[in-house]
Structure formats: structure tokens, C-alpha cells
Chain A
Amino acid sequence: MTPVLDVSDLRVTFGGRVAAVRGASLQVAQGETHCVVGESGCGKSVTALAIMDLLARGASRSAAHLRFRGEELSAREIARLRGDRLAMIFQEPMTSLNPAYTIGSQMGEVLRRHRGAGRREALDRSAAMLARVGITAPELRLAQFPHQLSGGLRQRVMIAMALLCEPELLIADEPTTALDVTVQAQILRLLQALQREMGLAILLITHDLGVVARVAHRVSVMYAGEVVESAAVGDLFAAPAHPYTRGLLRCVPVPGETPRDHPLGSIPGTVPRLGPDFVGCGFRDRCAHAIPACAGVIPRQGDAHQFLCRLPPGWTETRAA
């Protein structure tokens, strides 16, 4: 079955100097949630924006191929499909919803544009979708403005808006980061339920490894513009291969497991900003296992569980004295 989204060797450079994405490849199958996880500056949000062709001016984007359901996505194609078969939701529901217009008029705009729906039909379908995402009294909400809703409700409205045209792919950029933790759980469950009902493919961008573990089917770990590891979620957490992934997992405290009086694992140094001509492993300045060869071309190892490192799969830590 052709994947819903197939991206190969995506590259994005800003102003010719900062290489935000340096060759990212990933695939999302129907009904699957693919999480892209990484810290700030790794290029995960830029990847999402690049796929949707929403990058700011001054960004140049290129890819070996960028396919939606097997067809190449040209800029014109994307513009036609955006909001229709490809949808995106963002982190801050307040700034993604226009505060000057009611919920109803914003949702109605989507239906009018893509489905040519009339006003009455648009309202009915919007109300139905709001109910489907678990919003009570949807007709009341349609007449309200974004500031009258809580963060969790606004995010549900965003999801409803994104799903109005029954898209095949939903790209969610940190959809729960700005929400309270109890609301986050509800929103994630909602996304899972909708995925089951609609066979939706979800590309979920996040920095939270907990979210990844609980919702993802496949995971791509990004660092400094590259996908450094990519695997099924169980494999990634059970046997992380890349030193960055291992380091990242050690940084997260787990109640009941992480010993209290010991320091948390941490990764020394900070994320670098790399130019487009950078060669070698972007992690080498922070890696305990770096050798001179890491400045050269790094092999991409593995098949279903891929990682970008010269170390052999299943390598073990050598403890320095």
C-alpha cells in the first residue's frame, strides 16, 4: 500500500546560510501516527512547514521526492490540497484562530472554499464536526469568539476545522504543548479515536518523549536538521541505537524509576546551528563516542530500524573511569 506521505531527502535552507533541514526522509502510512521528536533547533517544525509549503520567504526547499498518495506535490498541488486532503494544526490555538471572527465563520470559510458549501450547510457540517470532537452545545460555540473558549476547547476547534474536509493526512505541530496536562491526555485520546474512525494518517511533531511513547506507531528522532534514528515505537524505546536518542531518554525523569538522589542523565553542550555545507555527524561535538572519522560521511544503518551513526547496532556504553 502506498504510504500517504513519502518524503525523501528534504532540505531547507534559510538565507543560504542556516541549514534547518539537511536531508530528512520519512513515510506515514494510512491509519498510522508517525512522531517526529527532537529539541528546539532540530528542524522538526520546519519539516512540517516545508511539507505543507508554508515556509517564510527567504527559505529554499528541495527534496528528492515529496509524494502524497504516490503523486508528487508541487507548490500548486499543495495549495489546492491544503485544508482539504492535507491539514495542519499548530501549537498555539489562540494565534491559529483569528480572534476577530467567530468560530462558525472560520469553519464555514473552510467548507465554502473547498466544498463550495452554502451558509446553512456549512453551519450544519461545522456543528456536526464540533460534536464529533467532543464539544457540547456546538451551535452555541459556533457563535462564540476564540477568546471565549479555554485552551483545550480551542484546540478541539482547531482539530475540528482541520478535519472538516475529511483529510487523509493531518500534520500536528506540538498540538498539546501549550495545554494543561489533563487536557493533553484528552486531546491525544481524541486524535487516536478520530484516527481509528477515519483511517487518518497523522504526522505529529513534538519534543515530549512521553507523548511519543504513548501515541506513536513509528518515530523519527531529529537532531540538527537530520533524522538520526527512525524506528517502530517499541523498538526505539527498547533498543535506542543513536547516542543522541539514548542520551535524550536518560534525561527524562520517570516517576518510580529514576533514582532520586542521583543527577539526571544529561547531554553536555548545546544544539549547533549548521550551514548547508556541513559534513559529518552533527552530534559529534556532544558525543562521548566521537572519533575523527565522525567528521566524514556517516553511514545510515539498518532497515526497519534505521540510525545514522558509525557505531554498530547494539553497541554498549564503555564507561570512562
Chain B
Amino acid sequence: MSAAIEIGDVRRVFTAGARTVRAVDGVSLSVAEGSVMGIVGESGCGKSTLARLILGLMAASSGEILVGGQNLAEMDRRARARLIQPVFQDPYSSLNPRRRIGGIIAQPLAAQGMRRGERAARVREMLAHVGLDPGMAERLPAQLSGGQRQRVAIARALILHPRIVVCDEPTSALDVSVQAQILNLLAELRRAFGLTLVFISHNLAVVEHVATEVAVMYLGRIVEQAPVADLFAAPLHPYTRALLASVLTPEPGLGVPDVGLGDTLPDPSDIPPGCRFHPRCPEAVARCRTEAPATRWSGARMVECHLADFTSSSPDKTAAAHPETA
């Protein structure tokens, strides 16, 4: 199967006066057609910048991005819109407060030049797909709840039947019960429309539920990548292990784990030499301070760490095996 997205050593640098922020610092990633690529990381890791690069909303400083086999930088805006669409985090700022829902959802159609009459029919159809009343088309965003707005955002993203949808923390601003509704909706629509999803989140439990493959980002690079079951069962990179250890599952009696990271805050304008994670890494050795680790692959797994060993799995972080689906 060809890759839906092919990212080749992409970098994105921001300069503000004397400071240079290397938000994305050499990311190479391949997202397979029909998969759900989860991208996890904390503040400063560059995942949101990467999302904007993939969507074509920002030009890369260097490197190449291929979407649907075509070079993103050379695509005209309408062709790109037909291929890849976003769903953003904040339902309160992702809808134009002065436009009616119908107009918002129809916007991609209008940009393609579709006539008004045809647009209305497609909007109605899309509203039904996302579980909203057709009467919603006449309302203003202020009249909708967070969950409803996010459904509208999803409807807008899908109305051109794109191949790829990039979800940037789509449920982080929603209540738990609403989050579940939206995640279920995304799963259903993904099956119905045959979508490829890029799912960015800091919530590992959610990523574990929805993703087929996971990439862990730290300070602008992918430090580990693996199929989801492998990543959660046997994480290789110390940062991945720390992230997984910090997931607080609703199981009483287990207490709060000591994640073991130092207090240094990750700063993309001041990336440490050698391995960029070494100041916080509980397992760092002398080599980590001077030499950047090479990218190593084994089958579908990738890791950038001097100490990682593909053959052994770490003993202190094993999750239960996934229950087989019915």
C-alpha cells in the first residue's frame, strides 16, 4: 500500500530576533493509507507545528512532504483541500462566530466553486453523518455546546471527502463524556469514509485506543515509533517509558509513579548537544551528552537512543496484552 503521507527530513525554524526556535528538527515519517498515526509528545515537542506543515498551512524550512504521492509545496490550494483537512483542538476558536453553521460547513465546497444549491444538499447530508439536526445549519456557533461545535468542525473537514484528516488534540478541550462521543464518531466516520488519520494528542490513553501506529516526539524529532501494541507493551526510549509511566489510569491504590525526569524544561530554542533528551534522562551516560543517537530501525519499530536494544523488552513497563476483538 502506498503511503498517504511521506515526510522526508522536514525542518521548520522560527527566528525571533536573536533566538532561533527549531520547532521541527528533522522529522521523517511515513503514514500508511488507512492507518491512524498517533503523534504524542508534550509542550515544545513540535507536534502542532508538524500538523500545520502537513496541512500545508506553513512552509517547511527544508525537507519534503508528499501527500497522496504529490509534493505538498507544489499543490494548488484547491487540490490540497481535496486531499487533506484539519480538525483543531479548540471548538471555540475553530468556527467563525459571525457565520452560520451551514455556511461554515459549506466553506470548502464554496472554495471549490460549487454552486449554492448543491452545497445545501451536501451540508444536510454531512450534518446527518455527524449526528446533528438539519436545523443546526441556521444556528450560530455561540448557540452550540463544545461537543456540537466539534461535530461541526468534523463535518467541515469531511465534506470534500478528503483522504487524510489531521486531528490536532480534537478532544482535549472537551469533557470526558463528550470526548467519548467524539472519539466514537471519528472511528465510525473513519470506517465509513475510508480515512487515514493523523491523531495528535498528549493523552496517551486516548491514543492507545484509537491509533494503529504511534510516533513519540521530543524537542522537534521523533524519538520512537512503533505499532501501538508494541509501543505500549515494550517501550524502548526512556522518554516513552516516562510518558507511559505518567499515565494515571483510574485504578485506585497504585499511587502516583515517580517518573524520574529532572526539572529541566525542554526548550526548542536551546536544544541540548548530543542526545536532546539527556538532561532529563534517568539513564543517560557520558556518550549521550556528546553524540546524537542514530536513527535505528527494526521492522516497523524505530528508535533514536544509544541505550535502546530491540531484542529485549524493558521489564518495568509491560501493559496487559490487548483483548482480542469479538
Contacts and interface: CB of A to CB of B under 8 A. Distances in A.
Interface of A: 39-40, 134-136, 150-153, 180-186, 188-189, 192, 207-216, 233-234, 236-238, 247-268, 270-271
A209 B147 contact: no
Contacts of B249: 210, 213, 254-255
Given A185-B259, A259-B325, A270-B145, A247 B42 contact: no
A185 B244 CA distance: 11
B250 A209 contact: yes
A160 B248 CA distance: 24
B6 to A, nearest CB: 26
Given A182-B246, A263-B187, A255 B252 contact: no
A1 B184 CA distance: 48
Contact of B325 (A213, A216, A247, A262): A262
B204 A39 contact: no
Given A214-B252, A263-B187, A252 B176 contact: yes
A263 B204 contact: no
Contact of A258 (B188, B209, B255, B261): B209
A189 B204 contact: no
Contact of A248 (B176, B209, B243): B176
Contacts of B322: 256, 259-260
B271 to A, nearest CB: 16
Contact of B257 (A39, A185, A249): A185
B184 A213 contact: no
A257 B42 CA distance: 24
A252 B250 contact: yes
Contacts of A216: 252
Contacts of B315: none
Given A237-B250, A265-B180, A270-B147, 4 more contacts: A185-B256, A207-B176, A248-B177, A261-B325
A181 B204 contact: yes
Contacts of A39: 175-178
Contacts of A248: 176-177
Contacts of B251: 213, 237, 254
Contact of A214 (B248, B258, B261): B248
Interface string B256-285: 111101010100000000000000000000
A247 B246 contact: no
A152 B263 CA distance: 9
5 contacts: A181-B203, A247-B177, A255-B208, A255-B249, A264-B180
Interface residues of B, number: 53
B176 A251 contact: yes
B250 A184 contact: no
> Which of B42, B178, B243, B326 has the most C-beta atoms of chain A within 10 angstroms of its own C-beta?
B178
Contact of A153 (B148, B179, B188, B265): B265
Nearest to B42: A180
Contacts of A153: 263, 265
Contact of A264 (B148, B184, B244, B323): B184
B139 to A, nearest CB: 15
B239 to A, nearest CB: 9
Contacts of A215: 256
B254 interface: yes
A136 B263 contact: yes
Contacts of A250: 180
A181 B246 contact: yes
A207 B175 contact: yes
Contacts of B259: 182, 185-186
B204 to A, nearest CB: 7
B202 to A, nearest CB: 6
B247 interface: yes
Given A134-B263, A186-B259, A253-B205, A213 B180 contact: no
A184 B247 CA distance: 10
Contact of B181 (A237, A258, A266): A266
A268 B184 CA distance: 12
Contacts of B142: none
B192 to A, nearest CB: 14
> Which of A151, A209, A253, A271 has the most C-beta atoms of chain B within 10 angstroms of its own C-beta?
A253
A253 B206 contact: yes
A253 to B, nearest CB: 4
B253 interface: yes
Interface string B107-151: 000000000000000000000000000000000000001111000
A259 B209 CA distance: 8
Interface string B173-208: 001111111011001100000000000001111101
A253 B250 contact: no
Contacts of A270: 145, 147-148, 178
Contact of B209 (A189, A237, A264, A267): A264
B277 to A, nearest CB: 12
A152 B246 CA distance: 15
Contacts of A271: 175
A150 to B, nearest CB: 4
